[in-house]
Structure 1
Amino acid sequence: MEVFAGVDVGGTNIVCGLVTSAGQVVHKLKGPTEAGRGPDAVLERIAAMIEEAVASYRGEDGQPVTLAAAGIGLPGLVDPEEGIAKFAGNLGWRDLPAASRLKARLQLPVFIDNDVRTYVFGEALYGAGAGTGHVIGVTIGTGIASAMVNEGSLFYGFRHMSGELGHIVMEGLSDPCPCGLTGCLETYASASGMVRQARKAIESGEPTVLRSWFPGERLAELTAADLSRAYDQGDALAVSILERAGSLLGQALSYAVSLNSPEMIIIGGGGALAGDRILKPLERELMNRILPDYRDRLKIVPAMHNDDAGVTGSAMYAKHKYTALSGLIQDSKA
């Protein structure tokens, strides 16, 4: 059986999976990234995990599988055509030729792209967006990023920088962003942004049940999941933060809808686990800001495979690139 490896690389963990040509994850491994050991060590870890996955899995017939190609989803700025990780702050990488190094190490085709793009690619083709031609996907996590898939192809824009939704500067926001701008969407509406806003409010004395849950130095333990828990208890601060985050996301997405006219918006990432607490205000704000001709046909849905979309997308991205490359080779021989 022929399979494709999909690897989702994060600052903390690496997830590696084997995926069939139909997009089914049949085997998966997870391990620490250990980015502090440097890029060479991380690349070796990626290669070793791919080899371990292939060696430890047998198909339904009990026979070893054949690995055709590998796809790697990396954080930060990626040039997928050159196979270079341009900049990944949480890995400490800059201008790293990751694809060529892994190709030489594994002796098989390796393709890299930004992790959000591969995540959205997986959800658009094999998850919530299956059968839909024009999909925008948004991930809410430490930051906010997005990607668009049109008729099975990712949209990149100039210099492969399309999708930086989290760095739209929003009116009324004044927090500085590590990117150098002030008032970026993700300073408030990302999972980490919401937590940061809650901590600031608690430290300034606003009443909230969160104060008793996380007294003193324990405030550093507060997470986005705790905001959802407080929201469900009717805590005014938690309700305000989650609903404002949803409204800001809806406003930002209204610009994307007007420019790109998607059929579907998929919301994923850890912050999306807040569900309707964010999705309802997001949808309400978005629908109030777009033309009826967009509104009447647009679907807003949560990701179907939130945990596996990065692996599936990376593997299927590799399949698509590998198939195209094989076609070019055959054409050149004809």
Structure 2
Amino acid sequence: MWKFLIFTICLTQILSCVESCFLQRSLYVNSPGRLRPGHRVAKVETVGCDAKSTRLTVKDPSFTIKSNGEIVALTYVSVGERGRTFSVCAQDNSGLESKMEVHLVRSTMLKRHQRGQGSLNRSKRRRDWRRPTFNIVENYEGNYPEELSTLVIDAAEYHDVYYTIEGEGVDTYPTGVFSLDRDTGALLLLKALDREEFPEYDFVVRAFDKHTNVQLGEELPLRVIVDDVNDNAPEFVGPLQFTVPEHCSAGTVVGVVSATDRDEIGTDHVKIKYTLVSGSNMFTIHPETGVITTTTNTLDREPLDYEKTITAQNVASLNGSSTTWQSIPMNVNVKRGDG
């Protein structure tokens, strides 16, 4: 009898450990196309975890997770049309780890590229505003001020209305980008946008009765996302001087070059192809990795240096969308062999 009792106690302890610190397998979160630093993505709920010893971790360096389970973006994060997935893990003193897959699902966004396209209406039946997102191509050469849209209060319900606006691009940095016509509700773009300087703007519009100054309904949050164009050339980083033994075998690695691009991550605008403009009879470069290798075993210490030209070019440029590229000299020093 006592053996059965001990077995039951042990089994209960084992099962309690197995069931502790549990996360649901997956979590789906509606997400905008771009998250800004500090954006609160979701809150993860644990089941049966010891509150004092639970450790929560997120397997994506673009996010962090707080002790209360709140996932927060650490930097600007792009969410593609197919979404974005990362893992969250929970573990307490039981030693068992539970894992959850967080799926960011891209929200449908309204595209607004042309002047006066569409309007934001307030319905008679509902007192809340629709929340739109505008996409504006950076460096747009328009006739400023450019009207993006008009906010409309139902005239049958409200006759004398005025509008206010505040937020990024209006009265907080960077100021002077947007304005709103107080009487008509026309949202105006005042100048061209630079995505690399400021990729998105969040501001708030409110409507008031002119006679009573009472706010009509809830505030309307607006977001403007700046769409990228291929307007930045790649820039080489690190040294472009390498040393290789004379008469080394073909295929010897000489070095690696690297270039960066300030355009939007995840697009062809930042995918780079490397090319050797000169010296291809002695060296070759991998077009994607930038690894340089020899193509011959006849490298001679005389001359001591081989100066070649290397080019980094956007993949988008190769497709004809622009001609952003950088060409720069590269120096290879041939040292005396051991023999």
* TM-score bracket relative to the smaller structure: under 0.3
Q: TM-score, normalised by structure 1?
A: 0.24
Task: Report which of the two has the higher share of strand.
Answer: 2
Q: TM-score, normalised by structure 2?
A: 0.23
| Larger Rg, first or second structure (1 or 2) | 2
Q: Identify the structure with bigger relative contact order (alpha carbons < 8 Å, sequence gap 6+).
A: 1
Task: Report which of the two has the higher share of helix.
Answer: 1
